[in-house]
Chains A and B, each alone.
Chain A
Amino acid sequence: MASSENLDSVGYIKHHLQNLQVCKTDEGWVWNQCQEAGFWAINVDSLLFAFLLGALFCFSFWRVAKNAKIENPGKWQSMVEMVVEFVDKSVKDTFHGRNPLIAPLALTIFVWVVLMNMMDWIPVDLLPWVAEQTNVHVLGNEPHTSYLKFLPTADVNITFSLSIGVFLLILFYSIKVKGIGGFIGELTLHPFSSKNKFVQVLLIPVNLLMETIGLIAKPISLGLRLFGNLYAAELLFILIAILMSTGIGGLVGGFISYMGWAIFHILVIPLQAFIFMMLTIVYLSQAHEDH
């Protein structure tokens, strides 16, 4: 609760869930006044942490790839290889075609999402406090203009950028493997089909509706599942942090529950990343299947 004597609990929560935004208005690029900007705002904090963590993944794995030793791998190389083999096995178990993209895609998703989710373990006030100090003392701004939401996967933009990326690949491979006609056929001729031409024509709108909903549901469920889990996790951490500020009993109880919730996330964090990766593989494998 370092930041704000003058904020009540609701304000504290809202402050924590507010992204550091930049957007272009009539007066040029402005910070934190983007309520009117709609789509044309950028969540700088989410993007920054997402990019840094993705770059961390790329750099650390690239270093291993470049210096890979055959005879006696080091500890870090062994760990990286363990992750790579785990992803490779998951891909081979589910995806039976030959596609050089799927496995690296799954690896990137898994490690990147794990890294982004792991930001959840950082105490909720630590990085915002650093940001506020920087904002006030280095940049010379008012304290209440300091916003930082450092958990990228609790930002719906980040999770949806992943799931929509996957969705575009689903569309691409569906059309590539089955052809446009085959893909449209899949959307319109299943699950209900009939030998009678007239009945078949009647069934097409029904099939199209169902299949389209099924198709659209894939990226939405992917993105919302990850977002929901991490958003809820972050929200609970914030609530526990508020509990800690309510006297000695609250501090002890808050400390214990904060720790318990963090320990629980040893399960949640890799599990959510694994689910995201696994569903990506499954969806792309379905996209490759020709009926």
Chain B
Amino acid sequence: MNVNLTLIINMIFFAAFVFFCMKFVWPHIMAAIEERQNKIAEGLAASERSQKDLELAQEKAAEILREAKGQSAELVDSAKKRHTEIVDSAKDDARAEADKIKSGAQAEIEQEVNRAREQLRSKVATLAVAGAEKVIERNIDEAANNDMFDKLVKDL
């Protein structure tokens, strides 16, 4: 245990190592650590922010969905209404058309009946005259007979 020059030399080593550590080691490692700490803090803040954003977006989406549902219900309602309207008006149109066709047909039928009746009437008159001519087998005053048969035909 004798103190000698070793002490002085090692003090110089000591000073050199401390200086080296102070200049080239400590600041760089501390800077790296602090930068990482900042990055982690930033990352956490960002994740919190994005979570909040996500919540807002979800709320917004839910609202939009609700609105869309309301709108679609309205649309369906109005479509239903329109549908019944169209069906109703179509029904009315059809009915009117049918009535028109029916009345036209009836008028035609009536006409045909009348015409047939006229023909029948004239044919019956001729037949009756011919029949009577055969029965009586004598020539009678055609004019007087025609009057009588016309009267008969009218009564038919």
Contacts and interface: CB of A to CB of B under 8 A. Distances in A.
B6 A161 contact: yes
B4 A40 contact: yes
Interface stretch (A98-106, A118-126, A236-244): A98-106
Given A47-B6, A161-B10, A62 B24 contact: yes
Interface in A156-170: 156-158, 160-162, 164-165
A153 B156 CA distance: 158
A70 B30 contact: no
Contact of B28 (A40, A68, A161): A68
A108 interface: yes
Nearest to A57: B17
A50 B13 contact: yes
Contacts of B22: 100-101, 104-105
Contacts of A80: 29
Given A42-B4, A105-B18, A156-B3, A164 B25 contact: no
Interface residues of B, number: 32
A62 B26 CA distance: 9
Contacts, number: 126
Contacts of A40: 4-5
B10 to A, nearest CB: 4
B29 A65 contact: yes
Contacts of A81: 29, 32-33
B26 A158 contact: no
B18 A70 contact: no
A87 B43 CA distance: 27
Which among B2, B3, B28 has the highest number of chain A CB atoms within 10 Å?
Answer: B2
B52 interface: no
A21 B1 CA distance: 13
Contact of B9 (A47, A104, A165): A47
B140 interface: no
B115 interface: no
Given A51-B13, A104-B18, A105-B18, A161 B24 contact: no
Given A61-B21, A68-B28, A84 B4 contact: no
Contacts of B36: 70, 73
Interface of A: 21, 34, 37-43, 46-47, 50-51, 54-55, 57-58, 61-62, 64-66, 68-70, 73, 80-81, 84-85, 88, 100-101, 103-105, 107-108, 112, 155-158, 160-162, 164-165
17 contacts: A38-B4, A40-B5, A41-B4, A61-B29, A65-B28, A68-B32, A70-B35, A70-B36, A70-B39, A73-B36, A84-B26, A101-B18, A103-B26, A104-B26, A108-B21, A161-B6, A164-B11
Given A40-B5, A161-B14, 20 more contacts: A37-B4, A38-B2, A41-B4, A41-B6, A42-B5, A42-B9, A43-B6, A46-B6, A62-B25, A68-B29, A73-B32, A84-B29, A105-B18, A107-B21, A156-B3, A161-B7, A161-B8, A162-B14, A164-B7, A165-B15
